[in-house]
Amino acid sequence: MSKVKVRFAPSPTGSLHIGGLRSALYNYLFAKQNGGEFLLRVEDTDKNRYVEGSVEKMQESLKWAGIEWDENIYTQSEHLDVYKKHAEQLIKDDKAYYCFCEPERLQKMREDQTATKQAPMYDQYCLKSLDKEEINKNLKNNCPYTIRLRIPENETIEFDDIVRGKVKFETNTIDDQILLKSDGYPTYHLANVVDDHLMNVTHVIRGEEWLPSTPKHILLYKAFGWDRPEFAHLPLLLDTNRKKLSKREMDVSVEDYINKGYIKDALINFVAFLGWNPGKGSTKEIFSLEELIKEFKLENVHKGGAVFDVQKLDWLNGQYIKNLPIDELYKLALPFLEQKEFYEKPSPQNPLPKGEGDKKEYIKKVLTVEQDRLNNLSAIGESNKFFFQDIKCDKKLLKWKDMKDDELKESLEKSKKVLNDNKNWTKESLEKELLEAAGDKRGELLWPLRVALTGEKKSPPPGEVAWVLGKDESIKRINSALEKL
Ligand code: GLU
pLDDT band at 128, cuts 50/70/90? very high
Q: What is the mean pLDDT of residues 49-60?
A: 96
What is the rounded average pLDDT for all residues in the chain? 96
Q: Which atom of ligand 1 is nearest to the CA of 213?
A: 9
Nearest CA to ligand 1 atom 3: 10
Decide yes or no: CATH 1.10.645.10 for domain 391-485: no
pLDDT in tens, 70-88: 989 999 999 999 999 999 9
Query: Does ligand 1 have an atom closer than 6 angstroms to the CB of 11?
Result: yes
Write down how long the chain is.
485
CA distance 28 to 32: 6
**CA angle, 327 as apex, 467 and 336 as ends, to 5°?**
85
Query: Does ligand 1 have an atom closer than 6 angstroms to the CB of 13?
Result: no
Burial pattern 115-140, b for ≥16 Cβ within 10 A else e, equals eeeeeeebbeebeeebeeeebeebee
- What dihedral angle (degrees, nearest 10) is formed by the CA atoms of 460, 466, 468, 471? 180
pLDDT band at 279, cuts 50/70/90? confident
Give me the numbers of helices (H) and strands (E) for the chain, helices first please.
Answer: 21, 12
Question: From ligand 1's centre to the CA of 11, what distance in Å?
Answer: 7
pLDDT of 336 over the 90 cut: yes
Helices 214-224/188-198 angle, 10° precision: 60
CA distance 143 to 112: 25
Catalytic residue among 137, 244, 247, 457: 247
Domain ranges of the chain: 1-72+235-323, 79-234, 325-389, 391-485
CA distance 260 to 413: 42
Give one DSSP letter per residue of 110-155, joined into a string: HHHHHHTTPPP----HHHHH--HHHHHHHHHTT---EEEE-PPSS-
Question: From ligand 1's centre to the CA of 262, what distance in Å?
Answer: 26
Q: What is the mean pLDDT of residues 294-307?
A: 96
- Cβ neighbours, 10 Å, residue 312: 14
Question: From ligand 1's centre to the CA of 28, what distance in Å?
Answer: 15
Classify domain 1-72+235-323 at the CATH topology level. Answer: Rossmann fold (3.40.50)
pLDDT at 1: 65
Question: From ligand 1's centre to the CA of 94, what distance in Å?
Answer: 27
CA distance 188 to 66: 28
pLDDT band at 141, cuts 50/70/90? very high
Q: What percent of the chain shows pLDDT beyond 90?
A: 95
pLDDT at 129: 96
pLDDT at 348: 85
Nearest CA to ligand 1 atom 10: 10
Nearest partner of 308 among 11, 22, 7, 9, judged by Cα: 22
pLDDT at 346: 82
Q: Which DSSP category does 348 fall into? A: T
| Helix (H) or strand (E) run with residue 437 in it | helix 427-438
- What dihedral angle (degrees, nearest 10) is formed by the CA atoms of 313, 211, 301, 309? 20
Query: Does ligand 1 have an atom closer than 6 angstroms to the CB of 206?
Result: yes
Question: From ligand 1's centre to the CA of 192, what distance in Å?
Answer: 8
Classify domain 325-389 at the CATH topology level. Answer: Helicase, Ruva Protein; domain 3 (1.10.8)
- Residue 247 known to be catalytic: yes
0.95 exceeded by pTM: no
Query: Does ligand 1 have an atom closer than 6 angstroms to the CB of 192?
Result: yes
pLDDT band at 345, cuts 50/70/90? confident
Beta bridge partners of residue 21, listed in sequence order: none
Burial pattern 340-349, b for ≥16 Cβ within 10 A else e, equals bebbeebeee
Question: From ligand 1's centre to the CA of 19, what distance in Å?
Answer: 11
Query: Does ligand 1 have an atom closer than 6 angstroms to the CB of 43?
Result: yes
Nearest CA to ligand 1 atom 5: 9
Pocket test for ligand 1, best of 58, 210, 217, 231 (most atoms within 8 A of CB): 210
pLDDT band at 291, cuts 50/70/90? very high
pLDDT of 112 over the 70 cut: yes
CA-CA distances (angstroms) from residue 78 to 42, 44, 204, 335?
A: 10, 9, 22, 38
Give one DSSP letter per residue of 178-208, joined into a string: EEE-TTSPBPHHHHHHHHHHHTT--EEEEEG
CATH ID of 79-234, from 3.30.420.40, 3.90.79.10, 1.10.3720.10, 3.40.50.620: 3.40.50.620
Query: Does ligand 1 have an atom closer than 6 angstroms to the CB of 9?
Result: yes
pLDDT at 72: 93
Helices 462-469/442-454 angle, 10° precision: 40
Q: What is the mean pLDDT of residues 385-395?
A: 94
CA distance 170 to 156: 5
Decide if 1-72+235-323 and 391-485 have a common fold.
no
Q: How many CA atoms lie within 13 A of 339 on its CB side?
A: 11
- Rg of the chain, C-alpha, whole Å: 32
pLDDT in tens, 194-230: 999 999 999 999 999 999 999 999 999 999 999 999 9
pLDDT at 122: 97
